Amino acid sequence: MEFCDECGSMMKTENGSWICNSCGYEKERDENDEEQMVTTSGQEETEVVDLSEAEDQGRPKTTAQCPECDNDEAYWYMQQIRAADESETRFFVCTECEHKWREDDH
């Protein structure tokens, strides 16, 4: 990928030259420079792991007393539920019964 020296837009290749679609700037292609460019072709693919069905869904655990079943362990996460200038709210999910509550719910 090459960017235009004049306007900064992405350039395309055409007949051995780099051409800017935005301003029309043109420059010759240089094989030595292009060898240094990194492309996605030939890179190894990585496995995508779906955690949506995982028990903890990637959330950390903490010690917290569940108000429903008295279990003493829960997953927790932070979520913005008010305006951006307000602090986030911490939510807990019981590891046993999956009851959900907020930190300030007592």
Residues taking part in catalysis: 85-86
| Residue 16 annotated as binding site | no
Residue 81 is assigned to a ligand binding site: no
- Coil, strand or helix: which one is 35? helix
Does the annotation place 94 within a ligand binding site?
Answer: yes
Is 4 a known ligand-binding residue? yes
Residue ranges of E strands in the chain: 11-14, 17-20, 26-28, 61-63, 73-79, 89-94, 100-102
Paired residues of 12 in beta bridges: 19
Binding-site residue positions? 4, 7, 20, 23, 66, 69, 94, 97
Binding-site residue positions for Zn(2+)? 4, 7, 20, 23, 66, 69, 94, 97
